[in-house]
A and B are shown apart, each in its own frame.
Chain A
Amino acid sequence: MLELFDQIEAAAAAIRERWSATPKVGVILGTGLGGFADQVTDVVAIDYEDIPNFPRSTAVSHRGRLVCGHLEGVPIVAMEGRIHQYEGYPLQQITLPVRVMKALGAETLIVTHAVGGMNPLYQAGDVMIIDDHINLMGDNPLVGINDDRLGVRFPDMSAPYTPELIDVGQEIARRENFVAHRGVVVAVTGPCLETRAEYRFLRMIGADVVGMSTIPEVIVAVHSELRVFGLSVITDMCLPDSLKPAVVEEIIAVANSAEPKLRALVSGIVTHEAKR
């Protein structure tokens, strides 16, 4: 992991050449949520391929560029398109952008992703504020010799999602009058969706929703001592006893329809963080 430090520096330097502001917040936009980047003003967009050591996004509905600019007047960087373990990238490379955000000066990471809902009280189109997670990806981005300049060997995970931001998120949802659940996400590798037996198992171990991303980035954010706010957009319900085949186009359409809620929550969190 010792070569990572130089890779981060090189990527951060390439971004600073194009955009000189210090971001307050970094945002990672998940499947179907890339349209959110249209909210950003004074945009400098940098393709991942123009940033040294950045992985390339190959997933459907992930554009693959870093959007630098202002949201509600606050400087932010947003990843339009994320990289997944199922694309074949090692977790250390997937999470490099989070380390670069930290190097650029960001203090907070907002992660969003599309998930399947397993808690029967949820509905497609709902959003869930992530309270906690279960890592079932079979890997960890911190495996390897630890670089103490980047973080501690054994990061504590008793509260990876900043409790204060969970409260702020729920207040925003109440004020804007929409439902925001608070629950546990489990991440699996994918890329196949889960079987009915797997959904039963994942529900049994305490997860409300299931996804194929986000947890590696959150682990690295905790390692980097960033504040974290996580949002899951429930794009389809995965109830094993009434399971219908998943249609990716529908999933993306539902994710897009949830965008107003996402916009309210992300904007509210960014504004809150700017006041700190």
Chain B
Amino acid sequence: MLELAAKVEQAASIVKQHWSETPLLGIVLGSGLGGLAEQIETDATIGYAELPNFPQTSAIGHRGQLVCGRLEGVPVVGFQGRFHLYEGNTAQAASLPVRLLKGLGADTLVVTNAAGGVNPTYAVGDVMLIEDQINLMFANPLVGINDDNLGPRFPDMSAPYDAKLMDVAAATARSADFVLHRGVYLAMLGPTYETRAE
């Protein structure tokens, strides 16, 4: 994992050539949610192909570009298209955009995804705030020799999702008058859907 810092640095310098601002946050747009990028007042778009070491997206509904600009006046980077393990990417490659975001100076990551509901009180079309997660992907992006410059060897996972941001989101949903569940997200490798037994 020691070559990772150099890869991140290289990708960040290319983004900086196109866009000189420091993003406050980054948004990863999941399946079918790429359209949210249209809300961003765009200063620059950078195709993943232009970024060295970036994998290419092959998934339907994922475009594969970085959208740099402003959302509500705040500098942001939107990742239009994500990398999945089922496409054959390693977890380390799939999480490279997040390292890049940090390399660009962002403090906050917003992740979105399309999911199947297994809680019977949910309905299709609802949104759920991710409160916690279960990793059943049989892979971890931190496997390998740890680079202490990127982070600690054993990251604490007692609260991976920021509690304050969850409260803000809950308040947002209340004031906008829509249902926002708060629950646990479980990730599988795919690409098959789950059986009934699963």
Contacts and interface: CB of A to CB of B under 8 A. Distances in A.
A158 B195 CA distance: 5
18 contacts: A132-B196, A132-B197, A133-B197, A135-B192, A135-B195, A139-B138, A140-B189, A140-B190, A143-B87, A143-B88, A145-B87, A145-B88, A146-B58, A146-B191, A154-B190, A156-B193, A157-B195, A219-B192
- Which A-B residue pairs are the 10 nearest by beta carbons? A138-B138, A132-B197, A144-B88, A184-B197, A157-B195, A157-B193, A134-B197, A145-B58, A155-B192, A142-B191
Given A140-B86, A143-B85, A206 B191 contact: no
Contacts of B60: 153
B194 interface: yes
B198 interface: yes
A155 B193 contact: yes
Interface residues of chain A: helix, strand, loop or mixed (majority): loop
B192 A144 contact: no
A160 interface: yes
B86 A207 contact: no
Given A138-B138, A153-B60, A143 B197 contact: no
Interface in B77-92: 85-88
B57 to A, nearest CB: 11
Given A132-B195, A134-B197, A222-B192, A143 B86 contact: yes
Contacts of B192: 135, 140, 142, 154-155, 157, 219, 222-223
Interface in B150-198: 189-198
B195 A133 contact: yes
Interface in B44-99: 58-60, 85-88
A145 B196 CA distance: 26
Contacts of A139: 138, 189
A156 B86 CA distance: 15
A134 B193 contact: no
B63 to A, nearest CB: 16
